[in-house]
C-alpha cells in the first residue's frame, strides 16, 4: 500500500479524472512543508489536464517507492542516493531543477559556540563535544543523509549525550528541536516556512558542504512499462520550462525566496 498522499486536485479544471490522467509523484517533505508544490502544481494541472498525486516522505522512502514501481516520477535531494538509483537502472533523465541550502539551527544563546566555526564539520564537532542537545530527523531523508555525512566528516559518532533521533519529517523535527531548545539540521526552505513558530536562531550557514540541490527523475519504462510515463515526462518537462523556473524563483514565504531555479540545458 502506498504511503498516505496529499492530493492536489485538478478536478476544477477537468470534470472527469481517469486513472490514466493521474501522475504519482514521490518527493520530499521539504517540498511539501515549504508550500512550493501546493503553490505551483495547480498551474500544471490546469494546463495539462493531469492530476498530480503527491506522496511526500523522506528521500530514502521516495526512492524506494520509485524503485518498486509504486510511483510514476520522483523528485528528491540526495545526490549520492540519486546517482545509485540511476546506476541501478531504476531512474532515467535526471534533471537538476532547483536548490536551496541546509542550515544549522540552535538555541539563541548558542551554547556550543557553533556560530564561530570555520565550517559545518567544526560546528557539529563543537555540538557533540559540549555536549549539547541535537535532534535528528532519523528518517533516511535527504536531510538525514546530509546530517550523517557531516558527522562522519567531523569524525564524530552520534552516541553522545543529547543526541536524539526522532524518525519524523522536517516540520515535526523543527518543532521538537524548538521545544527541547536543541540544535538541528534543516533545509532553509522549511525553516523559513516554520520560522514564525520557532524560538531558534541560525547557528551556522554557508559553504559548499551545505548545498541542497533537487532533481526530478523518470522511472525506467524497461523496469515498469505500465506506469504513467507520458504524464511523468510531461511533468518533468514542465518543471524545466522557463515559466516554471520563474515560478520557482518567485515563490516566497514571509517575503523570503525559498528556492533558486537551476535548470540549464
Q: What is the mean pLDDT of each run of 10 residues along the chain (265 residues)?
A: 37 40 93 89 95 93 96 94 96 96 96 96 96 94 93 95 94 96 94 93 94 96 96 97 97 90 86
Give residue 12's pLDDT. 34
Give residue 33's pLDDT. 80
Residues ≥6 apart with Cβ < 8 Å to 243: none
What single DSSP character describes residue 264? -
Q: Which residue from 188, 184, 206, 195 is spatially nearest to 104, judged by alpha carbons?
A: 184
Report H helices in 19-141: 29-33, 36-48, 59-67, 79-87, 120-129
What single DSSP character describes residue 196? G
8 A C-beta contact, residue 102 and residue 143? yes
Cβ count near 72 (within 10 Å) = 24
The pTM score is 0.82
Cβ count near 155 (within 10 Å) = 10
d(CA 198, CA 135): 14
d(CA 148, CA 34): 23
Give residue 18's pLDDT. 46
Helix (H, G, I), strand (E, B) or coil at 31: helix
Phi/psi region, residue 58 (left: phi>0; alpha: psi -120 to 50; beta: rest), is beta
Q: Is the peptide bond before 206 cis (omega within 30 degrees of 0)?
A: no
Q: What are phi and psi of 196, to 5 degrees?
A: -65, -20
Amino acid at each position: 500500500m502506498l504511503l498516505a498522499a496529499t492530493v492536489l486536485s485538478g478536478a476544477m479544471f477537468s470534470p472527469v479524472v481517469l486513472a490514466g490522467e493521474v501522475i504519482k509523484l514521490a518527493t520530499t517533505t521539504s517540498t511539501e512543508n515549504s508550500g512550493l508544490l501546493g503553490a505551483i502544481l495547480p498551474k500544471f494541472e490546469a494546463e495539462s489536464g493531469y492530476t498530480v498525486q503527491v506522496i511526500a516522505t523522506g528521500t530514502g522512502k521516495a526512492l524506494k517507492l520509485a524503485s518498486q514501481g509504486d510511483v510514476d516520477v520522483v523528485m528528491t535531494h540526495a545526490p549520492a542516493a540519486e546517482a545509485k538509483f540511476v546506476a541501478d537502472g531504476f531512474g532515467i533523465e535526471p534533471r537538476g531543477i532547483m536548490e536551496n541550502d541546509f542550515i544549522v539551527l540552535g538555541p539563541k544563546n548558542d551554547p556550543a559556540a557553533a556560530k564561530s566555526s570555520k565550517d559545518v564539520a567544526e560546528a557539529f564537532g563543537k555540538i557533540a563535544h559540549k555536549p549539547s542537545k541535537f535532534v535528528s530527523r532519523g528518517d533516511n531523508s535527504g536531510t538525514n543523509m546530509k546530517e550523517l555525512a557531516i558527522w562522519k566528516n567531523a569524525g564524530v559518532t552520534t552516541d553522545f549525550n543529547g543526541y536524539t533521533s526522532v524518525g519524523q519529517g522536517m516540520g515535526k523535527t523543527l518543532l521538537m528541536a524548538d521545544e527541547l531548545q536543541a540544535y538541528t539540521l534543516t533545509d532553509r526552505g522549511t525553516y523559513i516556512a516554520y520560522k514564525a513558530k520557532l524560538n531558534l536562531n541560525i547557528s551556522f550557514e554557508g559553504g559548499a558542504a551545505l548545498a541542497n540541490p533537487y532533481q526530478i527523475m523518470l522511472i525506467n519504462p524497461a523496469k515498469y512499462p505500465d506506469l504513467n510515463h507520458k504524464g511523468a515526462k510531461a511533468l518533468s518537462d514542465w518543471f524545466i520550462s522557463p515559466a516554471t523556473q520563474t515560478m520557482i524563483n518567485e515563490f516566497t514565504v514571509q517575503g523570503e525566496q525559498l528556492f533558486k531555479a537551476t535548470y540549464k540545458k
